[in-house]
Amino acid sequence: MTHTDSEAILLLDHGSRDPEAKIEFEQIADALRVRCGLPVSPAYLELAEPPVLDQLKALAKAGIRKVWALSAFLLPAGHVKSDLPAALSEARREFGLEIEYGKPLGLHPALLLALRDRWREAASGLPTMTKEDTAVLIVGRGSSDPDANGEVAKLARLVFESGECEFAQTAYVSIARPFAPEGLAQCAALGAKQIVVLPFFLCTGVLVRRIRQQAEAWAAAYPAVRVATADHIGLHPGVLEALLERLTELRSGEDRSIWCDRCKFRAALPGHEHSLGAAITSDHTHGLRHSRSHAALAPSPSPQGERGEAMRPEEITRRSFEIIDAQLRTRGIGLPTSLEQRAILRRVIHTTADFEYADLLEFSAGVIEAGRAALASGAVVICDVRMVQMGLTGLEGRVLCFVDDETVRAESRATGETRSALGLRKALVQAPEAIVVIGNAPTALWETLRLIDSGAARPRLVLGVPVGFVGAAESKEALRQRADVEWIITRGRKGGSGVAAAIVNVLMTEHAQSSLSRSPA
């Protein structure tokens, strides 16, 4: 494969909190580099370093001018259709790069052979292996995009067509149903005496381990059915073959389009008509915002019920919570045990419409009790930015935010430190035992931790949910390791001012209700 010194491959992956997943993906990148002879730079949408934009900036600084953005995503969901195009568009403008973006791996024949190898390896460990008694349960990631979920169902049919199993069923580990335990029950109901669980994941990670744990738990509860869980695809020759073919397509101009035949942004899919014409966009947890749209945007309709009747705000909220509660019940995975933590999760999901927070929210052991005590004592609340302060209710006169203070502005200009960090420092000098709420600036969280270490601050609790690509995940992980302060965090890059305000408002509501219940009649 001929190439110039000014071109390189950007190998795109979602990212995982599991360091083993990053090691595996970098092994795939190294193997691809050997096969194609081009420089290969891995980049991650979230949860791992380096982010897409940081890697593209580094390539531009290294003199690269042509980038082949090669997707290692298996399916065409929202990240492939919106977040990545938005980030790549921003990089074209900011760094002057020529970037060509190809379609995801999809159900490439080489990947189907890799999956066959994985289920055969797992099946070989079962006592008997007869086609008539055997089901294969393909477990995908799960998405709000019906196109991506449909591809997993299509994969199940292709596995069935191989002729090596009596049944091939579909399940998902998150968002979409049926979930893995439900899929196992369906296989058993169809008469399967042994089931091979086949994770449709390229690399290992939290979700892959979850699938194995769920399969083991189900098998323990139903010992009459034998269950074996296959490995994820991993570094298989079929992966390299599929990547090389996608690269050849991209370089030849044969097919540079993402999959759009069943894209919910281009076609009015039943049940997803509201997505038609939505803009290609992203957020600070994935990429940067982008204004280009698939089609002309229609005005948003007024909130309506099932029969089109206008709904009152309180009815909209109640209906939203019913939907959230139903989803949380069906997931049944990693949900907080305390009522207060569940209330916080519920409100955060209501604020963001993102069920991934069920996996991202974490609480220190005593944070709820610390929050109750702090609020009962009238503790001051310190915010890193005005946007957090604007979202708080019931705390009039108790909130400090100096991000716009003139002395803070002047010091920031003189020292180069961020106004958020300087404002946090000034507030903690005035109220060292405050509740600290950080929804925007990782630098403010780092400054809080520094002041705790120096003994200058003793916050009652720290709510650390800054959002972004640079320092957000790292600062929250540093807070998570602390045993000398109570905390609430969102792992990874997600978070934001709205999330921070939502959490504080729940704590205030719980405090108010608790105070009312203790009041004499």
pLDDT exceeds cutoff 90 at 457: yes
pLDDT of residue 282: 52
pLDDT of residue 486: 95
pLDDT, tens digit, 9 for 90 and up, residues 26-55? 999 999 999 999 999 999 998 899 999 999
Q: Are strands 487-490 and 361-363 parallel, antiparallel or unpaired?
A: antiparallel
pLDDT, tens digit, 9 for 90 and up, residues 466-484? 988 888 999 999 999 999 9
Measured between alpha carbons, how far is 19 from 12 in angstroms, rounded to an integer?
16
pLDDT of residue 292: 36
pLDDT exceeds cutoff 90 at 5: no
Q: From the candidates 232, 284, 350, 511, give the one annotated as an active-site residue.
A: 350
Distance (Å) of CA 25 to CA 139, 187, 480: 20, 32, 26
Residue pair 167/186 in contact by the 8 Å Cβ criterion: no
pLDDT of residue 335: 60
Query: Is 108 an annotated catalytic residue?
Result: no
Residue pair 196/169 in contact by the 8 Å Cβ criterion: no
Q: State percent of the chain over pLDDT 70.
A: 83
pLDDT, tens digit, 9 for 90 and up, residues 67-118? 999 999 999 888 888 889 989 999 999 999 999 998 899 999 999 999 999 9
Which two three-digit tokens encode residue 313?
């705000």
pLDDT exceeds cutoff 90 at 448: yes
pLDDT of residue 310: 55
Instruction: Identify the weakest region by mean pLDDT among 58-62, 330-334, 372-376.
Output: 330-334
For residues 335-363, give the mean pLDDT: 84
Backbone conformation region of residue 271, classed left if phi is above 0, alpha if psi is from -120 to 50, else beta: left
pLDDT of residue 303: 47
Secondary structure, 3-state, 411-429: HHHHHCCCHHHHHHHHHHH
Higher pLDDT, 300 or 310: 310
Higher pLDDT, 321 or 190: 190
pLDDT of residue 132: 84
For residues 277-303, give the mean pLDDT: 43
Distance (Å) of CA 452 to CA 394, 408, 425, 460, 474: 27, 20, 11, 11, 17
pLDDT, tens digit, 9 for 90 and up, residues 414-433? 999 999 999 999 999 999 99
Quick check: helix, strand or coil at residue 372?
helix
Measured between alpha carbons, how far is 52 from 466 in angstroms, rounded to an integer?
19
Higher pLDDT, 454 or 271: 454
Measured between alpha carbons, how far is 214 from 174 in angstroms, rounded to an integer?
12
pLDDT of residue 47: 87
pLDDT exceeds cutoff 50 at 361: yes
Indicate the burial class of 190 (C-beta count within 10 angstroms; 0-12, 13-18, 19 or more).
exposed
* Whole-prediction pTM: 0.55
Contacts of 255-261 spanning 24+ positions with Cβ under 8 A: 255/102, 255/103, 256/100, 256/101, 256/102, 257/103, 258/76, 258/80, 258/81, 258/85, 258/101, 258/103, 258/104, 259/76, 259/80, 259/103, 259/104, 259/106, 259/147, 260/81
Higher pLDDT, 246 or 332: 246
